[in-house]
Amino acid sequence: MIVTIFTVIYLVGLLIAAWGVIIVLLKIILQVLMVIAGIFALSVLAQRTYYKGSDGHVYAESGFENLHRVK
């Protein structure tokens, strides 16, 4: 009877520990995904768009820079 109680306590402890490990792994996966999303967002922002102005000059613009003259 006492062995059975200890076995149940042991199994419940293992279950709690397993849930802790699963939660930590999910947090790590989530952080990796957030880093990937951040890199993707920065690369999109960094892309330059070029415009040819009515004055004949070429202007560049990106998510980090305002419209400015290149040539």
Tokens of 64: 């980090």
Kindly report the pTM of this predicted structure: 0.57
Per residue in 5-62, pLDDT (tens digit) is 899 999 999 999 999 999 999 999 999 999 999 999 988 888 888 888 888 888 888 8
- DSSP 8-state symbol, 47: -
Structure tokens at 27: 């947090």
What 8-state DSSP symbol labels residue 61? E
Tell me, rounded to whole angstroms, the distance of Cα 21 from its chain centroid.
Answer: 21
Whole-number Å distance between alpha carbons of 57 and 65:
17
Query: Tens digits of per-residue pLDDT, 13-29?
Result: 999 999 999 999 999 99
